Chain A
Amino acid sequence: MSPPVRPKGEYPSAKREGTPASTATVVHAGTLENLPRFLHFIETVCARIEADADIKYALHLAIEEVCTNLIVHGYRGGPAGPIEIAVHDESEKVTIVIRDHAPPFDPARAPSPDLTSDVEHRPTGGLGWHLVKKMMDEVDYVPGTPSGNVLTLVKRKF
């Protein structure tokens, strides 16, 4: 799949030469049309920070699952608000901070998925938050701050 054109609103990393930490941020409206832009953003960031395969997979999955939930559930039934994603790269970890203005949804309250039923009775959905929690090392959620709901996800490098 060819990468989308560089989206409006994406601005380059604030990485400074010679410093270990860097931050990249993107903001788009939370619509399905913009999902490729969020995914392209995290791919670009992963390439820039030279993320290894495990970290790249986890970050990509986290961004996809969280953005999809916000688009499909959070902003459903109203005008799509913004989704802002900031990725902070440090020597020992990568931190993703996602801000939105949808009705709050604490991932700790996401129902546990059915992991044991047979094929016939196994629901085909409900795995998104489960995978995010399993693949990221820390998940923190603060609803209703002045800058929206703030979801912080941490992936350790070691």
Chain B
Amino acid sequence: MEIELSLSGGITVVGIRGSVDGLTADDLMRILSDRVSEGAVRLVADCSALDYTSSAGLRSLLGAVKLARQHGGDLRLAAIQPPVLRVLDLSGFTGILKYYPDVETAVVSFAEPA
């Protein structure tokens, strides 16, 4: 897993590349929770290069969404590839997380009334 952080219109974009599994999920959670504790509570996860997640990765993603929302923000997903989207769907995540076809749309969504 590789993580790349950037800012777009006041939104923190977190590019997640590769696999989020039992070996890397804790690192992802730490990176995301660090951002939230620094005040960056509006985040977009760019999943365009995310190839794989197991239940460990789902735990981190949901944990980060909960944390961001508790702080008045959100973690929204963008550009989820079909294999990962299937796992999110099987896990009942597609009904509770906000996800968008691309990063730009996800970033803009924060400007819209919730």
Whether A and B are associated in the same complex: the answer reads yes
Measuring CB to CB, which residues of chain A are less than 8 angstroms from any residue of chain B? 1, 35-36, 39, 53-54, 57, 60-61, 64-65, 68, 113-116, 118-120, 122, 124-125, 127-128, 130-131, 134-135
Q: Is the CB of A60 within 8 A of B96?
A: no
Q: Give complex CA distance A118, B23 in Å.
A: 27
| B1 touching A115, Cβ below 8 Å | no
What 1/0 flags go to B15-26 for Cβ under 8 Å of A? 000110111100
A127 touches B96 (CB 8 A): no
B59 touches which one: A114, A119, A124, A135 (CB < 8 A)?
A124
Q: Answer yes or no: B110 CB below 8 A from chain A CBs.
A: no
Least distance between A106 CB and chain B CB atoms (Å): 19
Chain B residues near A116 (CB, 8 Å)?
A: 92, 95
Tell which of A36, A115, A116 has the most Cβ of chain B within 10 Å.
Answer: A115
Q: How many A-B residue contacts, CB cutoff 8 Å?
A: 69
Beyond A1-B1, A35-B23: 9 further Cβ-contacts under 8 Å?
A1-B24, A35-B22, A64-B54, A68-B22, A68-B56, A122-B62, A125-B59, A130-B55, A130-B90
Task: Please give me the 5 A-B residue pairs with the lowest Cβ-Cβ distance, nearest first.
Answer: A115-B92, A127-B55, A128-B55, A124-B59, A134-B90
**Are the C-beta atoms of A122 and B55 separated by less than 8 Å?**
no
A125-B23 contact, Cβ under 8 Å, with A113-B91, A119-B62, A120-B66: no
